[in-house]
Structure 1
């Protein structure tokens, strides 16, 4: 089992990665769907590069496992974005689904991968 401080560090990196991924994707959304100027894609690209770099800071042996655990964090962060940036309150179904995904993230992070029983 991973020490609590390491889990906190990983969750912090995941949360930052989610922010930068969502911000980067939203920049393109804003250009294509909201009519924002094309230069909005430049900070979006930078944001996506920061996102990708942050995911490499996760201390796991396999990229697929880092991405799988990240999925739950991304979903929660997307709902925070929905609420904070788009001014729409997540409904009970959003929250229930995010809770399930977050539990999956915690199982992946806390698991003893490759350990013998």
Structure 2
């Protein structure tokens, strides 16, 4: 359940940040900020649903998923295909996120 939750949070965060990027850097209409703010609120809400005992641990594990999702965004929405170094870096990040999420903890 945690991986799909983090994937949804990543999509919401990236979409929200891209809306701000489009407004600021691509000179799109300020109306782009409305869905951007909604997406960022959805991101925060989704990340708060993470079933973990500490917020910092959720943020750390989420970071690895975010890196991979960002490269998917790069390819899907910006038309730039990730190279082998991007993919190796994303795999390393997801592995690290999995280690954080799945490590046995005696609490």
Give the TM-score category using the shorter length: over 0.9
CA offsets, 1:55-92, max 9 Å, x none? 11111110000000000100000000000000000011
Structure 1, unmatched stretches of 5+, are 1-8
Whole-angstrom CA distance in 1 between matches of 2:12 and 2:50 = 15
**SS state at 1:61 partner:** coil
Number of residue pairs aligned between Structure 1 and Structure 2: 107
Whole-angstrom CA distance in 1 between matches of 2:49 and 2:23 = 30
Q: Does 1:97 pair with 2:89?
A: yes
Structure 2, unmatched stretches of 5+, are none
Whole-angstrom CA distance in 1 between matches of 2:37 and 2:100 = 29
RMSD: 1.0
Post-superposition shift, 1:34?
A: 0.7
Aligned counterpart for 2:72 among listed residues 80, 86, 91:
80
Q: Tell me the TM-score normalized by structure 1.
A: 0.89
Whole-angstrom CA distance in 2 between matches of 1:33 and 1:56 = 30
Post-superposition shift, 1:35?
A: 1.2
Whole-angstrom CA distance in 1 between matches of 2:21 and 2:49 = 27
Post-superposition shift, 1:104?
A: 0.2
Q: Does 1:57 pair with 2:49?
A: yes
Runs of 4 or more above 4 Å deviation: none
Q: Which has the larger radius of gyration?
A: 1
Q: Tell me the TM-score normalized by structure 2.
A: 0.97
Which structure's residues are more often helix, by fraction?
Answer: 2
Aligned counterpart for 1:28 among listed residues 20, 29, 38:
20
1:112 aligns with: 104
